[in-house]
């Protein structure tokens, strides 16, 4: 789910590049985490396309970042600092260094995450509290 941390990352990324391409995870790829997308892929693409920092939006159909590089030939990849130092991203740093791509980690936005938002929504949906639109 899109939240302020994602917006912060996009803003900071655009400050450091001329042309920002953003991959939006497909519904099928979201399911690999045993989760279900709350907002459809096409709606998420439309939301991200409307953000002024974003120049191009593409579907992210798999987790293969090198495949994305082969298609778009970017020279910098931006990601949240919560991934820094993980085995997966250490390997990606190694792979990308071989083709001249830098990985820039931005500080994680404290206090918000898709997981926390999902937990709150689950509590609301599973409670006896009625939620109404005004």
Selection from 23, 81, 74, 106 nearest residue 89 by Cα: 81
Taking only the tens of pLDDT, the chain with its 134 residues reads: 777 888 989 999 999 999 999 999 998 888 766 677 778 899 999 999 999 999 999 999 999 999 999 999 999 999 988 889 999 999 999 999 999 999 999 887 666 555 555 565 556 666 655 555 55
CATH classification at residue 80: 3.40.50.620
Is residue 127 situated within a structural domain?
no
Q: Which domain holds residue 26?
A: 4-109
The partner residues of 59 in beta bridges, in order of sequence, read 24
Is residue 98 situated within a structural domain?
yes
Is residue 49 situated within a structural domain?
yes
Query: Is 84 one of the annotated active-site residues of the chain?
Result: no
Q: Which of 11, 14, 33, 36 is catalytic?
A: 33
Is residue 117 situated within a structural domain?
no
Alpha helices in the chain (DSSP H): 4-15, 27-30, 41-49, 65-72, 87-97, 114-126
Is residue 74 situated within a structural domain?
yes
For the entire predicted model, the pTM comes to 0.78
Quote the number of domains for the chain.
Answer: 1
Is residue 29 situated within a structural domain?
yes
Q: Which of 11, 14, 35, 56 is catalytic?
A: 35
Query: Is 65 one of the annotated active-site residues of the chain?
Result: no
Selection from 96, 106, 102, 114 nearest residue 10 by Cα: 106
């Amino acid at each position: 789910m899109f939240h302020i941390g994602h917006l912060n990352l996009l803003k900071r990324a655009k400050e450091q590049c001329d042309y920002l391409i953003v991959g939006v995870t497909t519904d099928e790829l979201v399911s690999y985490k045993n989760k279900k997308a709350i907002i459809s892929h096409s709606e998420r693409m439309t939301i991200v396309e409307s953000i002024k920092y974003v120049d191009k939006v593409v579907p992210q159909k798999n987790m293969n970042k090198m495949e994305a590089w082969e298609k778009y030939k970017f020279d910098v990849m931006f990601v949240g600092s919560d991934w820094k130092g993980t085995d997966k991203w250490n390997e990606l740093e190694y792979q990308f260094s071989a083709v001249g791509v830098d990985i820039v980690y931005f500080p994680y936005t404290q206090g918000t995450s898709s997981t926390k938002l999902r937990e709150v929504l689950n509590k609301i949906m599973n409670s006896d509290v009625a939620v109404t639109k005004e």
